[in-house]
Structure 1
Amino acid sequence: MMQLSDTTDSTTLGYWLNWRVYLCVFSVLLCMVLASFTIWKRESSRNLTFDKRENQQDRDLCGDEAWKPCLKSIHPACLLAFRVVSFASLLASLIAKLHVTRGVTFYYYTQWTFTLVTIYFGCGSMLSVYGCYMYRKSTETTFNEDVTRIDEEQGPYLPLLYQDATNVSRTEPLANTNINIQKNQHAPIWSYIFHILFQISAGAVMLTDCVYWLIIFPFLTLRDYDLNFMTVNMHTVNFVLLFGDAALNCLRIPWSGMSFFVLWTGVYVIVQWIIHACVSIWWPYPFLDLSSPYAPLWYLLLALMHIPCYGFFMLVLEMKHYFLSKWFPSSYQC
């Protein structure tokens, strides 16, 4: 755990009443306002096109992308197994970290992101269980339809008793379809929430690991940071597991989804400001210290890092979809 010595008292008015703080606060709030406006515009556009069913890009409203693998040859149970194992691993690491630090771990953006990814895999596991159930029901429906078609071809030569069973089998596909439609009316809501978690996690994981391995580890570790297995685990396993899930699932992330990521980081920064305004305590990351003359530059650099971090993850996903559609055209289903 990194605890840098803090010589400036952040609870005094002199700490907050200066141009550096004003500029940093303005930049963070401006980013959050723009992100909120982007989300509002996106949702307004989605509501207008939802009833028409003409916007093919709003695939997260279909309800099955949250649990459907990217290839038909991959059974949904494989994605379920991966998510359950990932959730168990992340949860075990998080509990161990909480036990060691006694809750202080949530002072860091890393643990916010790690907890978010844990929640993501927990929700994904539940949605995959639902998806396996729906996949099984659809398989049974397809089988019943095949039996019905055979019965219709052989109908005049079948006994009356079997003909009654045939009539039942003819109505089962319709009944199952109605059940599926009713259930799928609720599925898009959870799929949409899950998609938001995916978009936030995609950027937050990249930002967390990039800041740690490119800034904190090279420049701060040698002086006052104790590198251990748990620290390395917190900054690697979330990245590996999230990319593994992205390789299997059907989800995409649009550029507008970066707005959720920006809001996530903005909320963390504001929470840090509130804490330091009330308590004189060390900053979890030295570049967040508003007393530094380079604070506006650090905040600007941190804001700009959101673009390549989110964009890299988005690029990897688009490359995955492109190559899978070329290599497995008959099995690709994203």
Structure 2
Amino acid sequence: MFESPVEEGWRYWVRWQVPVCGLIIAIPCAFALKFIRKSMAKPLLLSDLWSTHWRHLSPLWLLLYRAFAFVCCVQLLYEIVALHGPFVFFFYTQWTMALVAIYFALGTVVSAYGYWCPSRKTHSKNEEDVKLMEKDLKKNVDIVKEDTIKVQNECAQQEFQEKAGCLGTLMQMAYLAAAGASVLTDVVFWCLLVPFLLGENFQVSLLIGSIHALNAVFLLGDTAINSLSFPFSGFAYFVAFGGLYVVFQWTVHACCVNWWPYPFFELSTPWAPLWYLGLAVIHIPCYGIYALIVKAKYSLLPRLFPHAFVKTF
């Protein structure tokens, strides 16, 4: 039987497994923060956050969908907290659901702003500015090929498009991290916990099943509609989110909690570094699964719906 960190005191944290496991978590997080800094320097367009890839689907439907998903996520969190208390936030599942709720909250606000606020007026003004620039180009250049004019106009339009602010950046970060976290949560629950631990001490209720399924379902529905990109660099947000959860677990166990919500977090076993290494490595296929889904979206949907789906990249 393992000794708890609270009962054993400081001796629990000076064993050799602690710095090894700490490095296994810290090194990927350090690289993740480096990628995050680089990715934040790239401009993010506001129109990518609230528009859709479907010609005849109004962005209003995406707004309503995000608002509905946010309400459902908050309701699920409320019900599980009311049933088990705030203690449930020791588990990664509730962290994931909270992150999904944050994404849909930010998405609802950004979609509302993009649909009703000055971005559309700015876009119409941008079109006028582009037309003026086109006239100037025609006056100053005698012979210009038609395709060259189109390229210049597209560049001008992109230059005038409104950039996404901090809110839009946080929304993109939450989306990329929540995608990987949802896959990790649901795969571990349905493929490991349910088949091997289901019994008298572990039962799947409607609430537990919903909170381990609707997180991914809501995100997949949003992915099918939205225009958000899913870059490889987004993996850094997923890694940082996982590292933050581990830091949280270590902190609360060093201060007041004498048990681990997941047995693979236990540091007193000689197998702890292998468990933590496996925990770090499993992030790769989980993010990769969602990346493949997004890739399939841009390869299959244009073929299935050639006149309805707009493939921009």
In the other structure, the counterpart of 1:273 is 250
Q: Does 1:77 align with 2:60?
A: yes
Q: Does 1:8 align with 2:3?
A: yes
Query: Aligned partner of 1:31: which letter?
Result: P
In the other structure, the counterpart of 2:211 is 234
In the alignment, the residues of structure 2 paired with residue 333 and residue 131 of structure 1 have an alpha-carbon distance, to the nearest angstrom, of 20
- The Cα shift of 1:219 comes to 2.6
Q: 1:246–1:140: structure 2 CA closer, same or farther, 3 Å change rule?
A: closer
5+ residue gaps, structure 1: 1-5, 51-60, 146-180
Contact 2:46 2:114 in 1 (8 A): no
1:21 to 5, 18, 22: 18
Deviations 1:110-149 (A, max 9, x none): 101101101111111111112222599469959x99xxxx
1:42 to 39, 57, 63: 39
In the other structure, the counterpart of 2:30 is 33
- The Cα shift of 1:293 comes to 2.5
* Higher mean C-alpha deviation, range 321-330 or range 244-253: 321-330
In the other structure, the counterpart of 1:125 is 108
Q: Does 1:310 align with 2:287?
A: yes
In the other structure, the counterpart of 1:332 is 310
Q: 1:208–1:79: structure 2 CA closer, same or farther, 3 Å change rule?
A: same
In the alignment, the residues of structure 2 paired with residue 107 and residue 31 of structure 1 have an alpha-carbon distance, to the nearest angstrom, of 22
Aligned to 2:179, what secondary structure does the other structure show? helix
Q: Does 1:225 align with 2:202?
A: yes
Deviations 1:51-74 (A, max 9, x none): xxxxxxxxxx12111110111211
In the alignment, the residues of structure 2 paired with residue 140 and residue 62 of structure 1 have an alpha-carbon distance, to the nearest angstrom, of 12
In the alignment, the residues of structure 2 paired with residue 213 and residue 296 of structure 1 have an alpha-carbon distance, to the nearest angstrom, of 25
* Higher mean C-alpha deviation, range 315-324 or range 221-230: 221-230
Deviations 1:161-208 (A, max 9, x none): xxxxxxxxxxxxxxxxxxxx69x34x3443222111110101111111
In the other structure, the counterpart of 1:112 is 95
Q: Does 1:284 align with 2:243?
A: no
In the alignment, the residues of structure 2 paired with residue 62 and residue 42 of structure 1 have an alpha-carbon distance, to the nearest angstrom, of 13
Q: 1:28–1:137: structure 2 CA closer, same or farther, 3 Å change rule?
A: closer
1:158-307 pair list within 5 angstroms: 184-185=162-163, 187-222=164-199, 224-307=201-284
Q: 1:193–1:92: structure 2 CA closer, same or farther, 3 Å change rule?
A: same
In the alignment, the residues of structure 2 paired with residue 254 and residue 28 of structure 1 have an alpha-carbon distance, to the nearest angstrom, of 22
Over the aligned positions, Cα root-mean-square deviation in angstroms equals 2.8
Contact 2:52 2:62 in 1 (8 A): yes
Query: Aligned partner of 2:194: which letter?
Result: F
TM-score of the two chains, using structure 1 as the length reference: 0.76
5+ residue gaps, structure 2: 129-159
* Higher mean C-alpha deviation, range 10-19 or range 281-290: 10-19
- Fraction of identical pairs, as percent: 34
Contact 1:77 1:132 in 2 (8 A): yes
Q: Does 1:86 align with 2:69?
A: yes
In the alignment, the residues of structure 2 paired with residue 193 and residue 303 of structure 1 have an alpha-carbon distance, to the nearest angstrom, of 24
Aligned to 2:50, what secondary structure does the other structure show? coil
Query: Aligned partner of 2:21: which letter?
Result: C
In the alignment, the residues of structure 2 paired with residue 78 and residue 135 of structure 1 have an alpha-carbon distance, to the nearest angstrom, of 19
Query: Aligned partner of 2:265: which letter?
Result: L
Query: Aligned partner of 1:21: which letter?
Result: V
